[in-house]
Amino acid sequence: MPRPARHLALSLLLFALTAQAQEWAGTVKSASGETYAERNGQRIAIKAGDRVFPGDKLISGKDSQIGVTLRDDTLISASANSQLSIREFSFNPATHEGGMAISILRGVTAMVSGLVAKANPQAMRVNTPTTTIGIRGTEFVVEVEADE
């Protein structure tokens, strides 16, 4: 194999291994209408069964909704015209230790906290454009109006 081809093959292999090594945050449980994830600068359509990753921005269009279950059993439901970002997520299923930071950027999002927040409520942060929500209970709904 010529030298440039070997370098290309090695680069593609390293990229594939890096993508596989990335820890996934959760799974799309329901998606209707136009639903997307923005990941690494690309917008990709998502459907039930797809994985979501730390850094993903989830977007629901008009007459759309997204339901996600994170690996710690946190439930997230975003209604039409919503945007939220899974900024950080880590979880150890054996110890229930981990942390997460979610930003609700637009629309209505309902959440039911999972094992991370039950083990350590300070380990779960939910941000909006104007405030940070401390999680002390288990269920809440946030509405963020779009800038006009």
Cα dist. 97→16, 100, 103 in Å?
28, 10, 20
Please, what is the average pLDDT of the chain? Answer: 83
pLDDT digits (tens, 9 = 90+) for 76-125: 999 999 999 999 999 999 999 999 999 999 999 999 999 998 888 889 88
Looking at the predicted structure, is the pLDDT value of residue 70 above 70? Answer: yes
Average pLDDT over residues 31-45: 96
From 21, 19, 25, 18, select the one nearest 84 (Cα to Cα): 25
What pLDDT is attached to residue 16?
40
| DSSP code string of 12-51 | HHHHHHHHHHSPP-EEEEEEESSEEEEETTEEEE--TT-E
Q: How far apart are CA 103 and CA 129, in angstroms?
A: 8
CB 108 within 8 A of CB 83: no
Q: Which of 131 and 113 is assigned the larger pLDDT?
A: 113
Q: How far apart are CA 24 and CA 6, in angstroms?
A: 30
Q: Which of 104 and 129 is assigned the larger pLDDT?
A: 104
What pLDDT is attached to residue 140?
63
Looking at the predicted structure, is the pLDDT value of residue 64 above 60? Answer: yes
Looking at the predicted structure, is the pLDDT value of residue 35 above 70? Answer: yes
**Helix or strand or coil: residue 118?**
helix
Strands 124-127 and 139-144: unpaired
